Amino acid sequence: MLILKGSLLKDLVSPAEVIEAVEHAMVLYEGDDFLMPPRMHTEYEGNVLLLMPSFIKSSFGTKLVTVFPENLKHDQAVIQGVMLLNDAATGSPMAMMDASVLTGMRTGAVSATGIKYLSDPAVRSLGIIGAGIQAYYQAIMASAVRSLERIYISDLDRNRAEKLASSLSSELEAEIIISPSNGDLVTASEVVITATSSPYPVIPSDKENLRGKTFVGIGSFKPSMREIPEGLFHLINRVYVDSRQASQESGDLIYALKAGLIKEEKIFTIGKLINQSIKPSQHSTSFFKSVGMALFDLLVAEKIYSQAKSQGVGIDIDIT
C-alpha cells in the first residue's frame, strides 16, 4: 500500500487534472456505473465525523474525515482525515492519502467546474468570503478556469485574511485584495464563493448588488448552516447542485424550499449541464450549491495514485 502525505498531493496533479477528474465524476454521476452509499454523518459536541464510501469499475474508496470548527483557534486545519483507495478486483488497499489536502483540492475543483459552466468567460474578478484553508484551494482552482485579475477576500478575522492573501500572492498573478466587508466584496466581484460555517446568510440581500453575478456556495453542508440571502433566489430561475442530496443536506436549499423561494423541480445537477441534457439558463445571475460527494474524492484519488505510481513517489508499505 502506498502512503501519500499531504505535502505530496499538490505536486502530483495539476489544478487542470483535478478539475478534469471532478468533471468526469459529475458526468459519471448522471449514469449508473457507480455505487455511492449515503455518507455517514455523525455530530458530537459540535464536531462532525463523515464516512464517505464509493465504488466504480476500476476501484473503490472510503474517505474518513473530521470537521472540527474550533481547530481554527489552535491554528490547526478544520478538516482532517484519510482517504483509502482499494483495488476493485481484489479489494486490497492500494493507497492511503491525506484527506485534508484531497478535500481541499477536489472542493476547489468542484467550484471551478461550476464557474467554468456558469460564469461569463470574460469575468476577471473573484470574491471569496471566508479565509480558511478551503479558500486557498478555491482561489487556485478558480484561477485555472478564468483569467482572474483581482481576487477579493473577506473574513471576520483580519489576520487570517492577510495570511491567505500573502500565500496567494506568491502563487497567483492576480492582485489579492482584502475587502472591508462582505457587501463591498460582492460589489467588486463578478464571481462570489462563500466558504464559511455560518448559520446565517453572509451576503447582504441587496438584489441590485447580486444581479448578473455567479455565486458558488460551499460552506453550508448541514441543515443548520446558511450562507445565501433570500434576494438571490428572486434573481434566478434554477439552482445547480453537485449532487441530488444537496436539497436535503444544505440549510441554504432547505430554507429556500420551505420558504417557497425555489421549487424542487428547479434544482438541477450540474452534470446535466455538462452532458448537455439540459440547456443553460438565460438568466444572467446564477447559483451553484455544492455539498460534496464521495465520487469526487474517488476520481481525484485515482488520478493522484496513478501519478504517484508513474513517478515512483510515496512510501510503499506491506500491511499483511
Q: Average pLDDT of 23-46?
A: 94
User: Quick one: what percent of the chain has pLDDT higher than 70?
Assistant: 100
Instruction: Check whether residue 302 and residue 280 sit in a common domain.
Output: no
Long-range contacts of 201-206 (CB under 8 A, 24+ apart): 201/226, 201/227, 201/228, 201/229, 201/230, 202/129, 202/130, 202/227, 203/129, 203/227, 203/228, 203/229, 203/232, 204/229, 205/229, 205/230, 205/231, 205/232, 206/231
pLDDT at 70 exceeding the cut of 90:
no
Structural domains in the chain (count): 2
The reply to whether 108 falls in a domain is no
Instruction: Check whether residue 90 and residue 129 sit in a common domain.
Output: no
The average confidence (pLDDT) of the chain is 95
The reply to whether 304 falls in a domain is yes
Instruction: Check whether residue 126 and residue 272 sit in a common domain.
Output: yes
Q: Average pLDDT of 228-244?
A: 96
Question: What CATH number did the domain enclosing 23 receive?
Answer: 3.30.1780.10
Question: What CATH number did the domain enclosing 207 receive?
Answer: 3.40.50.720
C-alpha cell at position 247: 436539497
Instruction: Check whether residue 153 and residue 271 sit in a common domain.
Output: yes
Q: What is the pLDDT of residue 78?
A: 82
Instruction: Check whether residue 155 and residue 288 sit in a common domain.
Output: yes
What type of residue sits at position 220? S
Instruction: Check whether residue 160 and residue 282 sit in a common domain.
Output: yes
Instruction: Check whether residue 180 and residue 231 sit in a common domain.
Output: yes
User: Within 13 Å and on the Cβ side, how many CA atoms surround 280?
Assistant: 14
Query: pLDDT tier at 69 (50, 70, 90 boundaries)?
Result: confident
Instruction: Check whether residue 134 and residue 166 sit in a common domain.
Output: yes
pLDDT at 72 exceeding the cut of 80:
no
| 146 contact partners, CB below 8 Å, separation of at least 6 | 115, 116, 119, 121, 123, 124, 126, 191
Instruction: Check whether residue 199 and residue 277 sit in a common domain.
Output: yes
CB atoms < 10 A from the CB of 311, how many?
11
The reply to whether 107 falls in a domain is no
Instruction: Check whether residue 167 and residue 233 sit in a common domain.
Output: yes
Q: What is the pLDDT of residue 4?
A: 97
Comparing 12-16, 18-22, 276-280, the range with the smallest average pLDDT is 276-280
Look at 280 and 166; give whichever has higher pLDDT: 166
Q: What is the pLDDT of residue 282?
A: 79
Q: What is the pLDDT of residue 133?
A: 87
CB atoms < 10 A from the CB of 57, how many?
9
The reply to whether 73 falls in a domain is yes
Alpha carbon 127 to its chain centroid, in Å, reads 15
Q: Average pLDDT of 164-188?
A: 97
Instruction: Check whether residue 247 and residue 124 sit in a common domain.
Output: yes
Instruction: Check whether residue 308 and residue 278 sit in a common domain.
Output: no
The reply to whether 62 falls in a domain is yes
Q: Average pLDDT of 7-32?
A: 96
- The model scores a pTM over 0.75: yes
Domain that includes residue 167, residue range: 119-292
